Amino acid sequence: MKMMIVGLIMLSVTALSIRAGEAVTYSVGDQTFEGYMEKVSDLAPMVLIFHDWDGLTDYEVKRAGMLKDLGYSVFCADLYGAGVRPTEVADRKKCMTILTSDRAKMRAYMKGALEFAKKQGLNTKNCVAMGYCFGGTAVLELARSGEALNGFATFHGGLGLPEGQDYSKVTGEYLIMHSITDGMAPFSQLAEGLEKAEVGAQLICYAGAPHGWTVFDSKRYAEKQDAESWKHFTRFLEDTLGGK
């Protein structure tokens, strides 16, 4: 199983390397990661992307290209580590659980990715973090850590509040896009937490959108809701990051 995963990773990295952007290797502590970067210029506003539960794949790379076409520099962080791109559900859950059960490690990996992006000349001072599914969970974890970014956006992400945490340290603006069928209790909990923190937030719930509605070519893909949520997101970027 391990050999199969590594083989898939090699194919993925090869695919990334021939695109307009750049596959990059970086370290956080003693852990090596493989990210992806699209740089417009030193001054261009930046979007930091966190991947869903199958790791950094061509899906995030495609979204990065879409954002670069709009004038944004992009850094796709790797939260699993070099050579780890799980393809089976059990392996995806295992990789995700390693981080959701160790929030300090998750925060360290996210902050390390942001610091690396800064060293590459990306404009981390004018930056929005966004994520899909598990990546949305990561975005809110980064926000609760007090990271001072312009904004935080999630697409069908995990919205639950870990025990012992709150939103007292959050900054920036928030765009939370969710599906009605994902369940409403965490959605309400998040709304109350952001309201109490007195931060600007938009919480949008889409009807008729199954969990994972933005994933191209999947059975759950919902074209209409994907287009609507992308429109909301690009407007959010314009509002929070200013002119390009």
CA angle at 235 for the pair 233 and 237, rounded to the nearest 5°: 70
CA 226 to mean position of chain CA atoms: 16
Q: Which helix (H) or strand (E) holds 176?
A: strand 173-179
Q: Each residue of 79-128: pLDDT tens digit? A: 999 989 999 999 999 999 999 999 999 999 999 999 999 999 999 999 99
184 C-beta neighbours (distance < 10 Å), count? 13
More confident residue, 150 or 187: 150
Whether residue 134 contacts residue 157, with contact meaning beta carbons closer than 8 Å, is answered with: yes
The set of residues, in sequence order, having a beta carbon less than 8 Å from that of 241 and lying 6+ positions away, is 45, 72, 126, 127, 128, 150, 151
User: What rounded mean pLDDT belongs to the chain?
Assistant: 88
Task: Write down the residue that tokens 């009605």 correspond to.
Answer: 180
* Residues 36-62, mean pLDDT to the nearest whole number: 95
Could you give the domains of the chain?
A: 2-241 (3.40.50.1820)
Band (pLDDT 50/70/90 cuts) for residue 210 is confident
Instruction: Inform me whether the pLDDT recorded for 5 exceeds 50.
Output: no
Residue 138 pLDDT more than 80? Answer: yes
Say how far apart CA 99 and CA 95 lie, in whole Å: 7
Alpha-helical runs (H) found in the chain: 2-17, 58-69, 89-100, 103-119, 134-144, 185-197, 223-241
The answer to whether the predicted template modeling score (pTM) of the entire model surpasses 0.75 is: yes
